[in-house]
Amino acid sequence: MLKRLISLLSVALLALVVLAACGGDDEPEDVARVEASGAPDFPIADSHPGGGTPAAGGGGGVDGGDDGGDQPPAQALTLTAQGIARGQSELTIPANTPVPITLVNADRVEHNFTVEGQDVAIDMPGGQTIEGELNLPAGTYTFVCTIPGHEALMTGTLTVTEGAAAPAEQAGGQTGGAGGQSQAPQPAGGGAAAPPVTLTAQGTAWDQTELTIPAGTEVPFTLVNADPIEHNFTVEDTDFAIVMPGSQTVNATINLPAGSYTFVCTVPGHEALMTGTLTVQ
């Protein structure tokens, strides 16, 4: 009986030794690997949280494409309403770009600037200048004044073009009166243009008596004469003297060194009422 028990224990011990020898993870060096038919010839990526592998360039990953980034503002537009008419009936601006627009109402009655089919409707109180901004997708739009009785006379086309820049001649508006000037201000040295300044003469008075502009910089000025008589914009002790014919808008560029200047209308009898300070800094 004892001999039989010893024999059984010996067999069990031998079996354990054999199992230990065969249970390793390492493969014998002489084992050949066989490529499976139809297997892909590229490595399969590790799985990612959420399941599957990320598709190249998409699938919720970071988009490596150019998203355009923030666009710098395009050159400003000025549009004048006078005599229940627009100074310009054709405007062109770049698409998806903030475009500053100065809306001058040289009439005593209210107008508005409305782009049909878009969320653009800017009120223009009588005798005031309003600053706004346009940013629209590419397309062709109609802009109107929706005041009853005005639409037939105050309608225009706004063309918004991919990759287009606002033409320089649009930087200042021109009234419907004949003889209005349109002069494109250009920045000195290729730098960014300074913000435009709009100054209106109405009732033999300036609508602003304090102006501030940067020194040594080309600054576009839009001078609106809402009176039927002639005025002028003269900066004392400089060469700037710009004639403003009655009921017209004149565009010009001013570039002055730092200092404090007086601007006036030198037409006899006007100077006492039409004097202001121009600060250049």
Q: Of the candidates 136, 154, 176, which is a domain's last residue?
A: 176
> Residue 87: is its pLDDT beyond 70?
yes
Structural domain including 142 reads 73-176
> Residue 165: is its pLDDT beyond 70?
no
The arithmetic mean of pLDDT across residues 56-78, rounded, is: 51
Assigned domain for 42 exists: no
Number of domains composing the chain:
2
Asked if 204 and 279 sit in the same domain, the reply is yes
Asked if 158 and 89 sit in the same domain, the reply is yes
Sheet holding 197-201, edge to edge: 197-201, 219-225, 249-254
Is residue 144 very low, low, confident or very high in pLDDT (cuts 50, 70, 90)? very high
Is residue 269 very low, low, confident or very high in pLDDT (cuts 50, 70, 90)? very high
Asked if 166 and 118 sit in the same domain, the reply is yes
Of the given ranges (19-33, 134-148, 171-185), which has the lowest mean pLDDT?
Answer: 171-185
Average model confidence (pLDDT) across the chain: 75
Q: Enter the tokens of residue 40.
A: 């892909």
pTM: 0.42
Q: Which residues of 188-220 are buried (b: 16+ CB within 10 A; e: fewer)?
A: eeeeebbebbbbbbbeebbbeeebebeeebbbb
By the 8 A CB rule, do 253 and 235 touch?
no
> Residue 255: is its pLDDT beyond 80?
yes
Instruction: Say if strands 139-144 and 111-115 run parallel, antiparallel, or are unpaired.
Output: antiparallel
Assigned domain for 120 exists: yes
Asked if 135 and 184 sit in the same domain, the reply is no
CATH number for position 108 = 2.60.40.420
> Residue 265: is its pLDDT beyond 90?
yes
pLDDT at residue 179, as a whole number: 33
pLDDT at residue 86, as a whole number: 79
Q: Of the candidates 126, 154, 176, which is a domain's last residue?
A: 176
